[in-house]
A and B are shown apart, each in its own frame.
Chain A
Amino acid sequence: SQQGEEDPQALSIQEGENATMNCSYKTSINNLQWYRQNSGRGLVHLILIRSNEREKHSGRLRVTLDTSKKSSSLLITASRAADTASYFCATVILTGGGNKLTFGTGTQLKVEL
């Protein structure tokens, strides 16, 4: 089952604009992570936000987390053509067998020159 649902499914913007992606999830979490995937490649970890944090920054990335609404957003500022990729949110819950990371459906971002 998909824990997270991303919105929008696809986003097309011009270089220099900001891109915002949203993620909603269903159950209580330990932390939430965002990943990037270039076509046909593995995923790259971008940023992790813990359940007791509300906002986090890393370079041009800004992530927010609202546990009361079970939602998160990823903002990429001053986008570049190289940011074109799919972006996934993933939630971590603690189970008896260990940490379980469950992915959302992803947002395809296209940044045009």
Chain B
Amino acid sequence: DGGITQSPKYLFRKEGQNVTLSCEQNLNHDAMYWYRQDPGQGLRLIYYSQIVNDFQKGDIAEGYSVSREKKESFPLTVTSAQKNPTAFYLCASSLTGGSGYGYTFGSGTRLTVV
């Protein structure tokens, strides 16, 4: 079955540590996205990538880094510079071009800093 997989589902991190969240898709989608969701809030865009080896900062990129070495994978690293990393992180992918396509979301990773 085609889909988008995020791992792990739950992640605990000590303050000062970097941590990497995995996002893999087998939908052959060109574009991939990372969002952050805080309790009772909407989603805020962290980074997005339209093609391999290229990505753009979203609205809240500070303290995060990404890579896009393969079409299927778009890992997100939450660095120690991110002041308030505890949140629900969602990865999404979509086709590109034309007049628009819906996005497919993963089931999310809940990160807690302890």
A positions within 8 Å CB-CB of B: 1-2, 4, 30-31, 33, 35, 40-45, 48, 50, 88, 90, 92, 95, 97-106
CA distance A30 to B96 in the complex (A): 12
Q: How many A-B residue pairs have CB under 8 A?
A: 80
**Majority secondary structure of chain B interface residues (helix, strand, loop or mixed):** strand
Q: Are A41 and B59 in contact (CB under 8 A)?
A: no
CB-contacts of B99-114 with A (<8 A): 99-108, 110
Alpha-carbon distance A92/B58, docked complex (angstroms): 13
Instruction: For A97, list chain B residues within 8 Å (CB).
Output: 48, 50, 54-56
Q: Return chain B residues, CB-CB under 8 Å to A44.
A: 105
| Interface band, chain B | 20 to 34
1/0 per position for B80-99, CB-CB distance to A under 8 A? 00000000101010101001
Residues of the B chain whose Cβ atoms lie less than 8 Å from the Cβ of A99: 31, 50, 94, 96, 100
Residues on B facing A (Cβ under 8 Å): 31, 33, 35, 41-45, 48-50, 54-56, 58-59, 88, 90, 92, 94, 96, 99-108, 110
Give the secondary structure class of A's interface. Answer: strand
Q: Are A104 and B100 in contact (CB under 8 A)?
A: no
The answer on a CB contact under 8 Å between B48 and A100 is yes
The reply to whether A41 and B108 contact each other, CB–CB distance below 8 Å, is yes
Tell me whether B105 and A88 are in contact (CB under 8 A).
no
